[in-house]
Amino acid sequence: MRRAIFPGSFDPLTLGHYDIIKRGVEFFDEIVVAIGINAEKKYMFSLEDRKRFIEEAFANEPKVVVKTYTGMTIDFCKEIKAKFILRGLRNPADFEFEKAIAHTNRKLSKIETVFLLTAASTSFISSSIVRDVIRHDGDYKMLVPNSVRVK
């Protein structure tokens, strides 16, 4: 089975994330959307909400599974027998950052990183931008899947 993980905090899931996952299912038998848990980080959305946003967004896609993890991503890959890490690239800065992580992961394990370019229509979207729009009571709905709703 070609299993990939798509790791992130997904605080919240954006249309950019959605696009990468939706396109990624064409290449893999299963994509595990892996929500990393970092006790040091302050999140806008609870872990339960972030998980629900993703599960609802992909409710009709059996190849997408949502799990949480702590620790190093490559250790989680080994634990669930994922041979690939899926990552989206929005811009050259993303590439440089992700390339360094991919080289490190490859040096520490046999896990390959697969990059997909984000769609031009979503390349400007980041979770931090969405959070900022939400904090300022802006219309965030055009930046996220319908499953993402502020209470």
Q: Which of 17, 50, 51, 87 is an active site residue?
A: 17
| Residue 144 covered by a domain | no
Look up 22 and say whether it is catalytic: no
| Residue 78 covered by a domain | yes
Tally Cβ neighbours within 10 Å of residue 106. 14
| Residue 146 covered by a domain | no
Question: Is the entire prediction scored with pTM above 0.85?
Answer: yes
Look up 46 and say whether it is catalytic: no
| Residue 150 covered by a domain | no
Tokens of 135: 């904090």
Q: Is 145 exposed, middle or buried (0-12, 13-18, 19+ CB in 10 A)?
A: buried
Look up 136 and say whether it is catalytic: no
| Residue 148 covered by a domain | no
Look up 127 and say whether it is catalytic: yes
Tokens of 127: 């979770």
Structural domain range at position 31: 3-135
Number of domains comprising the chain: 1
Q: What is the pLDDT along the chain (151 residues), one digit of tens a residue?
A: 999 999 999 999 999 999 999 999 999 999 999 999 987 889 999 999 999 999 999 999 999 999 999 999 999 999 999 999 999 999 898 899 999 999 999 999 999 999 999 999 999 999 999 999 999 999 999 999 999 998 7
Q: Which of 23, 63, 90, 131 is an active site residue?
A: 90
Side chain identity at residue 151, one-letter code = K
Dihedral sign, Cα of residue 98, residue 86, residue 146, residue 122: positive
Q: Which of 41, 42, 81, 107 is an active site residue?
A: 41
Phi-psi group of 60: left, alpha or beta (phi > 0 → left; psi -120 to 50 → alpha; rest → beta): alpha
